[in-house]
Amino acid sequence: MKKTIPFALLILLLLLGLIGYRVYQERLDQEKASRLATVETDDAERRQAAAAAAEAEATRLAAEKARKEAEASAAELERRRAEQAAAEAARLAAEAELAAANAARAKAAKEAGEQEANARLAAELRAKEAAVADAARREALAKLALAEQEKQDAADREAARLAALKIQEEKEAALAAQPIDLIPKAIMPADYKRRQHYYMQVDLWNAATTAEAPKPPAK
């Protein structure tokens, strides 16, 4: 009886050990499964986090790319606007320069026309003044020549008068040396119509006789 009890106790202990081992093994398996599940969960979470981070990075990169593209587009638009503004300013400057050149040419043409007209008027005025001066010079020369001629004529007349006076003096001196037959004036009535004519003939005869002593005319 006493030998049976230890064997049964041994069996019981073996059973209890086996049960304990199984419980322990199951607990290990559960812990292992739990750790595996935790690892898988952590891996899944890490993968999700990595995917989220990658997605966020992709989003960030896409946003950065969009921002850079927007900035590039804005810069390109600004550059084009600046080029258009510069081209418009250049066009306006060219138009202003062309307008100024046209105005300068028109002004130069107008001034040239005015200068030509003024030169023509000045030439006409100088021609008129030259003609007036030439006419005045000719008139002055004519007057001078006339004055010289009159002076020469007066000198010639004075010389002729002096020569005639000298000849007359010589004739008178010659006649003074001989008697002169003068015609006496007959006394006629005042109403005699030929008296004045007769007296004139007598005076002319006596003068001629005094100068050259010709024969007396018939009464």
Instruction: Compute the distance between CA of residue 214 and CA of residue 219 in angstroms, rounded to an integer.
Output: 15
pLDDT at 76 exceeding the cut of 80: yes
Better-scored residue on pLDDT, 43 or 192: 43
Instruction: Compute the distance between CA of residue 50 and CA of residue 79 in angstroms, rounded to an integer.
Output: 41
Cβ atoms < 10 Å from Cβ of 168: 14
Instruction: Compute the distance between CA of residue 31 and CA of residue 36 in angstroms, rounded to an integer.
Output: 8
pLDDT at 111 exceeding the cut of 60: yes
pLDDT at 1 exceeding the cut of 50: no
What does each C-alpha distance from 81 to 43, 70, 78, 95, 142 come to in angstroms? 54, 16, 5, 20, 87
pLDDT at 219 exceeding the cut of 60: no
Compute the radius of gyration of the chain from its Cα atoms: 81
Ranked by mean pLDDT, which of 67-71, 153-157, 164-168, 186-190 comes out on top? 67-71
Which 3-state string (H, E, C) describes 40-75? HHHHHHHHHHHHHHHHHHHHHHHHHHHHHHHHHHHH
pLDDT at 114 exceeding the cut of 70: yes
Cβ atoms of residues 186 and 198 within 8 Å: yes
Q: Which residues contact 188 (CB under 8 A, 6 or more apart)?
A: 194, 195, 198
Q: What is the pLDDT of residue 83?
A: 92
Helix (H) or strand (E) holding 158: helix 4-176
pLDDT at 192 exceeding the cut of 60: no
pLDDT at 105 exceeding the cut of 60: yes
Better-scored residue on pLDDT, 106 or 16: 106
Determine the Cα angle at 132 with ends 127 and 136, to 5°.
145
Q: What is the mean pLDDT of the chain?
A: 78
pLDDT at 204 exceeding the cut of 80: no
Q: What is the pLDDT of residue 178?
A: 57
Cβ atoms < 10 Å from Cβ of 72: 10
Q: What percent of the chain is helix, strand and coil (3-state, nearest 5)? A: 85, 0, 15
Q: What is the pLDDT of residue 87?
A: 92
Q: What is the pLDDT of residue 214?
A: 44
User: Average of pLDDT values for 44-65?
Assistant: 85
User: Average of pLDDT values for 43-70?
Assistant: 85
Q: What is the pLDDT of residue 84?
A: 92
pTM exceeds cut of 0.75: no
Cβ atoms of residues 209 and 181 within 8 Å: yes
